[in-house]
Amino acid sequence: MPDITVRNFAGSIYSPNPFWLASAPPTNTGEMIMRAFDAGWGGAVWKTIGEPITNVSSRYSAVDWNGQRIMGFNNIELISDRTVEQNLREMAEVKKCHPRNAVIASLMVESNREAWHEIVTRTEDAGADGLELNFGCPHGMSERGMGSAVGQVPEYAQMITEWVKEKARTPVLVKLTPNISDIRTVGRAAKRGGADGLSAINTINSITGIDLDTFTPRPNVDGKSSHGGYCGPAVKPIALNMVQQILSDSESALPLSGIGGIGSWQDAAEFLLLGCGTVQVCTAVMHYGYRIVEDMAEGLDNWMREKGFKTIEDFRGLSLNRVTDWKHLNLNYKIVAHIDEQKCIGCDLCHIACWDGAHQCIHLDRVSGSVDGHVELHRTPAMEQAESLAAIAETPVTRKERAAAFAQGPYPTPLDRIPRVDETECVGCNLCSLVCPVDGCITMVRVDKDVAPQTWDDRTRERACPVEPSRS
Amino acid sequence: MSTAAALDDEQLRARFVELKPALAAQAARIEADRCLNCFDAPCTAACPTHIDVPGFIKRIASKNLRGSALRILDANILGASCARVCPVDVLCEGACVMNRQNRKPIQIALLQRHAMDFFWSSGETMPAAAPGAHKVRVACIGGGPASLACAAELCRRGARATVIDRRDLPGGLNTYGVAEYKLRASDSVREVEMIRRLGVEFRCGVEVDSADSLEALEAGFDFIFLGLGLGAMQRLNIPGEESEGVMNALELIAAYKTGHLRQLHGTVAVVGAGNTAIDAANAARRLGAETVYMVYRRSEAEMSAFDFEYEHAKQEGVQFLWHRKPVAIGRDEPGRLLLETVQVRETNGKLEVVPGTESAIACDLVVPAIGQSPLTQLLQDLRGVEIRDGKIVADRGTGRTGNPKYYAGGDCVNGGREVVDAVAGGKRAAMAILKTAEATHA
């Protein structure tokens, strides 16, 4: 059975699994965190502790997409609205009841050395297994010189990290904001300041939408709104990219707790494959509750069995060096789309996507003879639609007519609805396979056999230095 | 009781509760989101009027309900009634690609109804065309779907159209002949009102049945569209057919829809096994008949009714007698009707009587419903409009008959199909008429 225990993360943090709750509403109180641990979460980053704040109502808004709720989520809630004493008293109790779970204290206080020294000492005394410095909160706190106001200035981030490290006995993680042109600059600063690890990413500045009746953006606070922090499934690709950037850069690479749109075991596996040591989850729990961790743990376990991985270290970071600069990609790698006629349902979305969004190489004219080549050879989508509208259709009212109308041909779909790929024109862009609603119907088939790889870098280098044996 | 007063009858509504309830707003959006938005969609191709199905469905998803309804009406002016009466299993929903993916097609009919219900409830109207853009005047004889569609299309394109019908209310079978649990007469009349507001003139209670009346029409109009529907139901041609207590299926449906027939009892025998026969049999059950038989000469496999109609009839408690042929209608001692039948079997494609299988069904009502035949003798004799196999011969794409002044569409041409086929025929004829008129006046 695979072992998904995390040992010595960022130095000394132990966690029975890599699934942590991010510092957010699901980790607001000790009672909540204990329920989360009972449900199976390995660790929890406490909702940011600092001087208690006053929140507004409402606080959240979301982006739905085609009927699916919360594709993206946005909040304007601040750090904990409970006193430091209350939070730390509960933290001690949580550690007493759940000694094997990781409890990380997220901290944010005003930018002076004494304040940071004091909070660090108090939280570690309460039993925190590690500290996470919240340099990322993009709304409200940043207006008071904290959160992303620190995280956007490398010098401040380094300075505060140094202050914290002067006192800290447990690992110190710095949580990075994505609201900066290059996230690595602050990662490097944190590393220079002595951080033991990083968490990334925090939420992304956002306005999720505007109410078209009241003209007020959401969330509406008495007729006004404020930019919030965006998270949820929509941000995962952005987070993955930033995680890759940080971990590929030797000056910023540190043990990393990955955050951003994680809600399933697949999401978690992807962050681990890029090199994260743990992952943090918030939005998915706010949507469905702590119970989602069961499938995350089971799914990861199943996948590891299937792949033959015994521990997380067996696959952690495996995909990191698969990301490279564009100039190192093989220009001679060539794939073309292939449509499985037995699976095609005849929606023809690949056809219109290829015509209107790609390179005009998926056609419906197979039955009139295979004509390969340039766009001018083919009927346009508009011509095809006009033809359909001009055709006379009748209700099949007799049994005989119905039998004819629904007669089964060689494929499940009538042949004239099954598109075909002109492989001479196909550029292998993937678009058709992405729009196809049927699993495995459109596959991309490799066709560049016996051609040596060549990258842009190779090509330009060859041009810059013509091959002259004497100079080599 | 007047016909108009019967249209919103409470008792009728209670007995003929709608078969399918409407979708709630969010249910409609969830269903609309499920639509893949196929290119050159098979549902659109399968629809005789070629409604842009993904187009109107995605407008529901985006809450553009007005746009959705207008998209439907643009292709099919009777989109509201078609949403209720179309046999979608063999049309749009039967063509849905979902049948080949997760097996449950998009509920196109209910979505179409959702958009059209919004249109009515919000008091929306169709944008009017500039009147008189075309000088052409067209008379549409018959007030059913084919004529309505033809006239509406003409008026939307700026021509003038007049619908002439012998009944009190226009709408044809939509008003008088569709089972009430599918389409209420009042909904049909409301649809006709919308068409009237497009500028179509209606002359109701006017019979065109003589050479004189034809001549008068020809003098007043440039073209005449024949949307005559089917004439009297075909006769059984058996002794006793004229007896009291024999009422054909369309008469029965019209009688209960207009409030003239409120109650049935005892046993009803419906002869035939088509969709109209089933409507009549179900109606007899709902009106109170304890036993309803459908008597059909052939087998279950050969009946022309759609599968869902057959299933529905079985659920209503209708009993089917296969391979039985009526031979006479008589009366027993107490004075009840006796439908005398005999078993038949098929040999070499021909039905032959099985000797010694005579039996009589004692019943209170006999309802012949074995197909319908058109009544168009006059036109054939006087105007050279060719009739073949009881149907007007007209060009499929244009509805043009042997006489260039006459166009035709709907049941009188196709021999009896669906409302949507009639709409498509009427629309095609309207466009052909305008094209001809433009060519002539250019």
Distances (CA, A) of B433 to B154, B197, B222, B354, B401: 9, 21, 10, 54, 12
Q: Is B40 on the interface with A (CB under 8 A)?
A: yes
Residues B297 and B330 in one domain: yes
Contact criterion met (CB < 8 Å) for B45 and A391: yes
Q: Mind listing the pLDDT tens digit for each residue in A85-96?
A: 999 999 999 999
To probe the interface with A, which of B23, B34, B35, B40 has the most A CB atoms within 10 Å?
B40
Which chain B residue lies closest to A347 (C-alpha atoms)? B38
Residue numbers in A near B33 (CB within 8 A): 66-67
Contact criterion met (CB < 8 Å) for B420 and A405: no
Q: Mind listing the pLDDT tens digit for each residue in A35-69?
A: 999 999 999 999 999 999 999 999 999 999 998 99
Contact criterion met (CB < 8 Å) for A346 and B97: yes
- Residue B6 within any structural domain of the chain: no
Please check whether residue B66 is in contact with residue B119, taking contact to mean a CB–CB distance below 8 angstroms.
Answer: yes
Handedness of CA B316, B320, B325, B327 (dihedral sign): negative
DSSP A369-391: ----S-GGGS--HHHHHHHHHHS
Residues B331 and B393 in one domain: no
Single residue among B347, B368, B389 that ends a domain in this structure:
B368
Residues B188 and B217 in one domain: yes
CATH at B79: 1.10.1060.10
Q: Is A382 on the interface with B (CB under 8 A)?
A: no
The per-residue pLDDT for B5 is 39
To probe the interface with B, which of A69, A344, A347, A363 has the most B CB atoms within 10 Å?
A347
Q: Is A417 on the interface with B (CB under 8 A)?
A: yes
To probe the interface with B, which of A394, A402, A441 has the most B CB atoms within 10 Å?
A394
Q: Which two tokens stand for residue B130?
A: 């500039």
Please check whether residue A202 is in contact with residue A178, taking contact to mean a CB–CB distance below 8 angstroms.
Answer: yes
Smallest Cα distance from B244 to chain A, Å: 32
Q: Is B97 on the interface with A (CB under 8 A)?
A: yes
- Residue B8 within any structural domain of the chain: no
Residues B275 and B333 in one domain: yes
Could you tell me which residues come within 8 angstroms of residue A372 by beta carbon, excluding any fewer than 6 positions away?
Answer: A422, A423, A424, A425
Note the residue count of chain B: 442
* Nearest residue, CB atoms, B97 vs list A347, A351, A352: A347
- Residue B239 within any structural domain of the chain: no
Helix (H) or strand (E) holding A421, with range, is: strand A420-421
Q: Is the previous residue joined to B355 through a cis bond, with omega within 30 degrees of 0?
A: no
Could you tell me which residues come within 8 angstroms of residue A245 by beta carbon, excluding any fewer than 6 positions away?
Answer: A182, A183, A184
Note the residue count of chain A: 472
- Residue B130 within any structural domain of the chain: no
- Number of structural domains (chain B) is 3
Contact criterion met (CB < 8 Å) for A395 and B417: yes
Contact criterion met (CB < 8 Å) for B97 and A413: yes
Q: Which two tokens stand for residue B5?
A: 């007063």
- Residue B362 within any structural domain of the chain: yes
Between A and B, how many CB-CB pairs are < 8 A? 87
Contact criterion met (CB < 8 Å) for B38 and A397: no
Q: How far apart (Å, rounded) are the C-alpha atoms in residues B305 and B169? A: 28
Residues B107 and B151 in one domain: no
Residue numbers in B near A345 (CB within 8 A): 97-98, 100-101
Residue numbers in A near B90 (CB within 8 A): 395-396, 402, 405-406
Smallest Cα distance from B157 to chain A, Å: 18
Residue numbers in A near B89 (CB within 8 A): none
Contact criterion met (CB < 8 Å) for B39 and A389: no
Q: Is A397 on the interface with B (CB under 8 A)?
A: yes
Please check whether residue A226 is in contact with residue A136, taking contact to mean a CB–CB distance below 8 angstroms.
Answer: no
Single residue among B334, B368, B402 that ends a domain in this structure:
B368
Single residue among B368, B386, B410 that ends a domain in this structure:
B368
Q: Which two tokens stand for residue A122?
A: 């108090």
Which chain B residue lies closest to A348 (C-alpha atoms)? B39
- Residue B237 within any structural domain of the chain: no
The per-residue pLDDT for A471 is 45
Residues B361 and B379 in one domain: no
Single-letter amino acid code for the residue at A106: S
The per-residue pLDDT for B1 is 30
Which chain B residue lies closest to A383 (C-alpha atoms)? B40
Residue numbers in B near A349 (CB within 8 A): 36-39
Q: How far apart (Å, rounded) are the C-alpha atoms in residues B345 and B210? A: 44
pLDDT at A470 over 60: no
Residues B331 and B284 in one domain: yes
Residues B321 and B401 in one domain: no
Q: Is the previous residue joined to A201 through a cis bond, with omega within 30 degrees of 0?
A: yes
**CB neighbour burial string for A253-270, b if at least 16 within 10 angstroms, e if fewer:** bbbbbbbbbbbbbebbbb
Please check whether residue A102 is in contact with residue A257, taking contact to mean a CB–CB distance below 8 angstroms.
Answer: no
To probe the interface with B, which of A64, A395, A415 has the most B CB atoms within 10 Å?
A395
For residue B312, give its domain range: 249-368
Residue numbers in B near A378 (CB within 8 A): none
- Residue B391 within any structural domain of the chain: yes
Q: Is A357 on the interface with B (CB under 8 A)?
A: no
Which chain B residue lies closest to A350 (C-alpha atoms)? B39
Q: Is B299 on the interface with A (CB under 8 A)?
A: no
CATH at B158: 3.50.50.60
Q: Is B396 on the interface with A (CB under 8 A)?
A: yes
Q: Is B55 on the interface with A (CB under 8 A)?
A: no
Q: Is B102 on the interface with A (CB under 8 A)?
A: no
* Nearest residue, CB atoms, B38 vs list A348, A394, A398: A348
Residues B227 and B264 in one domain: no
Handedness of CA B153, B154, B160, B161 (dihedral sign): negative
Residues B224 and B275 in one domain: no
Could you give the percent of chain A with pLDDT greater than 90? 88
Residues B115 and B148 in one domain: no
Which chain B residue lies closest to A69 (C-alpha atoms)? B30
* Nearest residue, CB atoms, A437 vs list B90, B101, B302: B101
Contact criterion met (CB < 8 Å) for A395 and B100: no
Given the residues A97, A137, A344, A347, the one annotated as active site: A137
Smallest Cα distance from A220 to chain B, Å: 22
Residue numbers in B near A213 (CB within 8 A): none
Please check whether residue B144 is in contact with residue B188, taking contact to mean a CB–CB distance below 8 angstroms.
Answer: no
* Nearest residue, CB atoms, B101 vs list A345, A393, A395: A345
Contact criterion met (CB < 8 Å) for B61 and A66: yes
Is A137 annotated in the active site?
yes
Report the DSSP pairing between strands A60-65 and A68-75.
Answer: antiparallel
Which chain B residue lies closest to A351 (C-alpha atoms)? B39
Contact criterion met (CB < 8 Å) for A348 and B39: yes
Q: Which two tokens stand for residue B402?
A: 């042997």
Q: Is B298 on the interface with A (CB under 8 A)?
A: no
Q: Which of residues 316-355 of A touch B (CB under 8 A)?
A: 345-349, 351-352
Q: Is B414 on the interface with A (CB under 8 A)?
A: yes
Which chain A residue lies closest to B92 (C-alpha atoms)? A395
pLDDT in tens, chain B (442 residues): 334 434 567 777 788 888 888 999 999 999 999 999 999 999 999 999 999 999 999 999 999 999 999 999 999 999 999 999 999 999 999 999 999 987 899 999 999 999 999 999 999 889 877 766 788 999 999 999 999 999 999 999 999 999 999 889 999 889 988 888 888 888 999 999 999 999 999 999 998 878 888 889 999 999 999 998 886 556 677 888 888 889 888 889 989 988 888 899 999 999 988 888 999 999 999 999 999 999 999 888 888 889 999 999 999 999 999 999 999 999 988 889 999 999 999 888 788 899 999 999 999 999 987 655 444 667 777 778 888 877 889 999 999 999 999 999 999 999 889 999 999 999 999 999 999 998 886 5
Could you tell me which residues come within 8 angstroms of residue A356 by beta carbon, excluding any fewer than 6 positions away?
Answer: A381
- Residue B128 within any structural domain of the chain: no
Task: Look up the pTM and report it.
Answer: 0.89
Contact criterion met (CB < 8 Å) for B90 and A392: no
Q: How far apart (Å, rounded) are the C-alpha atoms in residues B63 and B307? A: 34
The per-residue pLDDT for B103 is 82
Contact criterion met (CB < 8 Å) for B47 and A399: no
In 3D, which of B424, B426, B420 has the Cα closest to residue B81? Answer: B420
Residues B324 and B412 in one domain: no
- Between A373 and B297, the more confident residue is B297
Q: How far apart (Å, rounded) are the C-alpha atoms in residues B142 and B159? A: 19
Residue numbers in A near B47 (CB within 8 A): 393
Q: Which two tokens stand for residue A241?
A: 């990219």
